[in-house]
Amino acid sequence: MTIQEIQGYSMFFMTILMAVLLYWYIFYLYRSEKKGERDFEKYGRIALDDSIDTSPVEDKLASEEDRRIKEQN
């Protein structure tokens, strides 16, 4: 197999993979929001409520705490 062929195949499959990933991503974004799993639009608030004494939209420390509790159980 020449490098051109390898290139041709990888171009072809990567493009398909990327397209699938992109559409999967769109699908994932909307489905998880519809099912109420996540609300992406609330992340837009991060820019607005950004003074240091407001509480984070998703607290990193709190969620780490949650995980630790889950793991212990």
Binding footprint of other proteins on the chain (CB under 8 A): 3-4, 6-7, 10-11, 14, 18, 22, 25-26, 28-30, 32-33, 38, 40-41, 43-48, 50-54, 56-61, 63
Nearest-angstrom CA–CA distance, 20 and 27: 10
- Contact (CB, 8 A) for 46 and 57: yes
Residue closer to other proteins (CB basis): 4 or 73: 4
Q: How far is the CB of 14 from other proteins (least distance, A)?
A: 6
Q: Give the count of alpha carbons within 13 A of 22, CB side only.
A: 6
Q: How far is the CB of 73 from other proteins (least distance, A)?
A: 21
- Three-state secondary structure call for residue 48: helix
